Chains A and B, each alone.
Chain A
Amino acid sequence: MSAAKNPGDSRLRRWLHVGFCAAVLFFLVAPVLVVIPLSFNAEPYFTFTEGMLRLDPDAWSLRWYRNVLEEGRWLPALGKSLTIGIAATVIATTLGTLAALGLSSPAMPGRGMVTALLISPMVTPIIITAAGMSFFYSDMGLGQTYTALILAHAVLGAPFVVISVSASLSGYNHDLNRAAANLGANGWTTLRRVQLPLIAPGVFTGALFAFAASFDEVVVVLFIGGPEQRTIPREMWAGIREQISPEILAVATFLIVFAILLLAAVNWLRQRDYVRA
């Protein structure tokens, strides 16, 4: 019973705990990072060659990166991903921010139900969303168009904006609105000059989430996009399913760097979120 007071025992437990956590964190991070060195493989293999392990410079090469740039399939895909992602993010951020402002008001009628409805695209399994949309957009005559994909990605991204801006607004002091009104500002001026600047970090965080969601989305693209809408995830999907080539690892490395940049941006924004801090 005095086990807890035995310092040796508690030190052992502490080491076991730290060791276990190190193993779990290794399991989380290592698989992501392992593709980076492999993308510099001179051979078309998905494993470390002996030459790579000996750090023989000839075993390492940039050939897959050159392929990616020259092959004429990845750069157009990047363009399509960016077009769809940016357009969808603009729609999602505008509508999502307005909705979060409405939801934050204590006077909002039916808030619980409305919130649930606005969040629902995020929580519905993507395969169901994609199946439903594929019927609907082709019935509307929008099958296999950019418009359909932009609308779909906008509605999938909007919940992230709503949640992020709502979180920012939850620390917002509504007395500021009254103070602005006292000083003669109308509702629109208050929104533009007082509320939006204060919640801007939340808005940008939500926009980044929405963009990341679109930039990584493949199932809806598979179901409602046509041959014109081959985005980066669509090309990766095809690459993994059909014939996996180390080119994919080069693209994956680019996407990992992109993810790290996004993460850094979100962290930076969070530090600037005066309202929540």
Chain B
Amino acid sequence: MANSLTNRRLRAALLAAPLFVFVSVTFIAPLATMMMRSVYEPVVAESLPETLAALADWDGRELPNEATFRVAGMEFIALNERRALGSVATRVNRLESGMRSTMLGVARELANDPPAGAWREAMIAADEDWAEVSSWLAVRRAGERITPRHYLNALDLDRGAAGEIVAQPEDRRIYVTLLLRTFAISAAITGICLLLAYPVAWLLAHARPSRAGLLLLLVLVPFWTSLLVRTTSWIVLLQNQGVINDLLVALGILAEEQRLSLIYNMTGTIIAMVHVLLPFMILPLYSIMRTIPPRHMQAAASLGGSFWQSFRRVYWPQSLPGVAAGSLLVFIMSIGFYITPALVGGRTGQLISSMIAYHMEQSLNWGLAAALGAILLLLVVLLYLIYSRLVGVDRMSLS
């Protein structure tokens, strides 16, 4: 008997194993390497080994000694000849702005006019920033292989001269603000979806089956339609010369010059995201409400309860699992949403995901992109744990 149990366990595990391995290799491993990248940055350390070795013993208060200046200068020249200084300088620049041009400039000057002995004077003459302790501190910190700096950066924090954690100057605090804004917008979208979905789910759940099937189709058609198509539709509808503005002008509600800015801003993001996510609210609500017998409301009414009393005390509590499941699902999907805000959000309608894309594709600050991604992922995982406690991953259904 024990033997057959072992056999059945083995058979079950073997069936699940291929996908398990596949997901681990093609999905978990990429995420894990991304996490690595958020704390591990070897480029500067590998490019400036001697400078960093010299700076390791330095006290960080006075300027480094002549020997340090010399190895640093020589390494800068060598890297610049291999065209490898730019990526190093960019990384130092993220810690101390202005350092990119300082490093590239000094390398060029030193190569043109190699100093015979006094590297210190020559470098300071080439660029005064080399007389600043903070420049050298930035080089040393950029050389740390394992660094919390991307996480600090993603949380609008920085390290002070003595390595203590300080807040970024006010004008550089962007990520926490954006994260909070993402939360606020996601909460608003979830609220709007719930408000719109609840009565519809009710109607679907308690209509005659033939009619319910037809109405459900109206929910499922947009659900199945390509996200890009739906986003295109909203651009067509909402743009300045679009259908809605044309209609409002034609009806005389708006004058020609009063056309509303409905797109390429936060309004556009919210309208289009509510449209995309509404089915994800309606469907869980519908599946819970179908299990609430209409007799309960009738019984409450026959006991003298007004409609609202009966609703509040009898129907609403029974529908709560659907409310929780739908709201969590919509909220989780909102905070990571990328495509729709990227296409209809313009400059002001962006969420945290667009920052990840920006650092991936434009600023090429991959460490920061990875740290922002890791923070977002952590939030999503936490919310999903709550979701699976409430609903159960097993019970997640597709239709």
- On chain B, the number of residues with a Cβ less than 8 Å from chain A's Cβ atoms is 92
Could you say which of B30, B33, B338 contacts A219, with CB atoms under 8 Å apart? B338
Q: A123-B380, A123-B384 are in contact. Are A152 and B233 (CB under 8 A)?
A: no
Closest residue to B201 on the A side, CB-wise?
A: A21
Contact check, B377 vs A118: say whether CB atoms are below 8 A apart: no
Could you say which of B37, B220, B237 contacts A263, with CB atoms under 8 Å apart? B220
A199 sits at the interface (CB 8 A)? no
Chain A nearest CB from B219 CB (Å) reads: 6
Contact check, B336 vs A46: say whether CB atoms are below 8 A apart: no
Q: A124-B31, A163-B397 are in contact. Are A35 and B23 (CB under 8 A)?
A: no
Contact check, A137 vs B30: say whether CB atoms are below 8 A apart: yes
- Please indicate the chain A residues that have their CB under 8 angstroms from the CB of B19 in the complex: 95-96, 98-99, 118, 158, 162
Q: A125-B336, A131-B360 are in contact. Are A46 and B242 (CB under 8 A)?
A: yes
Could you say which of B8, B14, B305, B369 contacts A131, with CB atoms under 8 Å apart? B369
Contact check, B398 vs A205: say whether CB atoms are below 8 A apart: yes
Contact check, A263 vs B16: say whether CB atoms are below 8 A apart: no
A25 sits at the interface (CB 8 A)? yes
Among B43-51, B144-152, B388-396, the stretch that binds chain A is B388-396
- Please indicate the chain B residues that have their CB under 8 angstroms from the CB of A262 in the complex: 224
Contact check, B236 vs A233: say whether CB atoms are below 8 A apart: no
**Which residues, 198 to 216 on A, are CB-close (under 8 Å) to B?**
205-206, 209, 212, 215-216
Closest residue to A31 on the B side, CB-wise?
A: B233
CA distance A209 to B234 in the complex (A): 24
- Please indicate the chain B residues that have their CB under 8 angstroms from the CB of A31 in the complex: 222, 230, 233-234, 237, 275
- Please indicate the chain B residues that have their CB under 8 angstroms from the CB of A132 in the complex: 30-31, 33-34, 373
Q: A101-B15, A125-B338, A155-B22 are in contact. Are A38 and B236 (CB under 8 A)?
A: yes
Contact check, B220 vs A131: say whether CB atoms are below 8 A apart: no
Could you say which of B17, B33, B203, B239 contacts A17, with CB atoms under 8 Å apart? B203
- Please indicate the chain A residues that have their CB under 8 angstroms from the CB of B9 in the complex: 107-109
Which label, helix, strand, loop or mixed, suits the secondary structure of the A interface?
A: helix
Contact check, A47 vs B243: say whether CB atoms are below 8 A apart: yes
- On chain A, the number of residues with a Cβ less than 8 Å from chain B's Cβ atoms is 99
CA distance A95 to B20 in the complex (A): 9
Q: A47-B242, A116-B393, A119-B396 are in contact. Are A25 and B31 (CB under 8 A)?
A: no
CA distance A124 to B388 in the complex (A): 14
Contact check, B23 vs A240: say whether CB atoms are below 8 A apart: no
- Please indicate the chain A residues that have their CB under 8 angstroms from the CB of B23 in the complex: 117-118, 120-121, 155, 158
A193 sits at the interface (CB 8 A)? no
B332 sits at the interface (CB 8 A)? yes
Could you say which of A45, A102, A109, A128 contacts B376, with CB atoms under 8 Å apart? A128
B189 sits at the interface (CB 8 A)? no
Contact check, A212 vs B228: say whether CB atoms are below 8 A apart: no
- Please indicate the chain B residues that have their CB under 8 angstroms from the CB of A21 in the complex: 199-200, 203, 215
Chain A nearest CB from B259 CB (Å) reads: 12
Interface string of A109-140 (1 = CB under 8 A from B): 10010111111110111111101111111010
Q: A131-B34, A136-B33 are in contact. Are A4 and B226 (CB under 8 A)?
A: no
Could you say which of B278, B338, B398 contacts A209, with CB atoms under 8 Å apart? B398
Contact check, B14 vs A163: say whether CB atoms are below 8 A apart: no
Could you say which of A10, A126, A135, A260 contacts B33, with CB atoms under 8 Å apart? A135
Q: A31-B230, A121-B23 are in contact. Are A102 and B338 (CB under 8 A)?
A: no
Could you say which of B221, B234, B279 contacts A260, with CB atoms under 8 Å apart? B221
Among A58-66, A71-79, A249-257, the stretch that binds chain B is A249-257
Chain B nearest CB from A139 CB (Å) reads: 7
Could you say which of A32, A116, A139, A241 contacts B388, with CB atoms under 8 Å apart? A116
Q: A152-B26, A155-B27 are in contact. Are A48 and B224 (CB under 8 A)?
A: no
**Which residues, 197 to 235 on B, are CB-close (under 8 Å) to A?**
197, 199-200, 202-203, 215, 217-222, 224-235
Contact check, A24 vs B196: say whether CB atoms are below 8 A apart: yes
Closest residue to A98 on the B side, CB-wise?
A: B15
Chain B nearest CB from A1 CB (Å) reads: 6
Interface string of A213-239 (1 = CB under 8 A from B): 001101100010000000001001100
Contact check, A255 vs B226: say whether CB atoms are below 8 A apart: yes
Contact check, A17 vs B199: say whether CB atoms are below 8 A apart: yes
B156 sits at the interface (CB 8 A)? no
Chain B nearest CB from A185 CB (Å) reads: 14
Contact check, B336 vs A127: say whether CB atoms are below 8 A apart: yes
A164 sits at the interface (CB 8 A)? yes
Closest residue to B278 on the A side, CB-wise?
A: A28
Could you say which of B241, B332, B337 contacts A45, with CB atoms under 8 Å apart? B241
B121 sits at the interface (CB 8 A)? no
CA distance A116 to B80 in the complex (A): 49
Contact check, A128 vs B226: say whether CB atoms are below 8 A apart: no
Closest residue to B383 on the A side, CB-wise?
A: A123
Q: Which of B16, B18, B219, B307 has the most CB of A within 10 A?
A: B16
Chain B nearest CB from A268 CB (Å) reads: 12
- Please indicate the chain A residues that have their CB under 8 angstroms from the CB of B310 in the complex: 4
CA distance A112 to B377 in the complex (A): 20
Contact check, B16 vs A108: say whether CB atoms are below 8 A apart: yes
Contact check, B225 vs A1: say whether CB atoms are below 8 A apart: no
21 contacts between A and B (CB under 8 A): A5-B301, A17-B203, A24-B278, A27-B275, A31-B230, A35-B236, A99-B16, A101-B15, A109-B12, A124-B31, A125-B335, A125-B353, A127-B338, A131-B370, A135-B37, A163-B396, A205-B399, A240-B228, A252-B226, A252-B228, A252-B232
Known contacts A47-B241, A124-B336, A240-B235; 13 additional CB pairs below 8 A are A91-B22, A102-B15, A107-B11, A117-B24, A121-B23, A129-B30, A131-B369, A131-B370, A163-B397, A236-B226, A252-B229, A259-B225, A270-B399
Residue ranges of B at the interface with A (Cβ–Cβ < 8 Å): 5, 8-9, 11-20, 22-24, 26-31, 33-34, 37, 196-197, 199-200, 202-203, 215, 217-222, 224-237, 239, 241-243, 246, 275, 278-279, 301, 304-307, 310, 332, 335-339, 343, 353, 356-357, 360, 366, 369-370, 373, 376-377, 380, 384, 388, 393-394, 396-399
Question: Which 9 A-B pairs give the minimum distances between C-beta atoms?
Answer: A125-B336, A102-B15, A102-B16, A136-B30, A132-B30, A105-B12, A99-B19, A132-B34, A107-B8
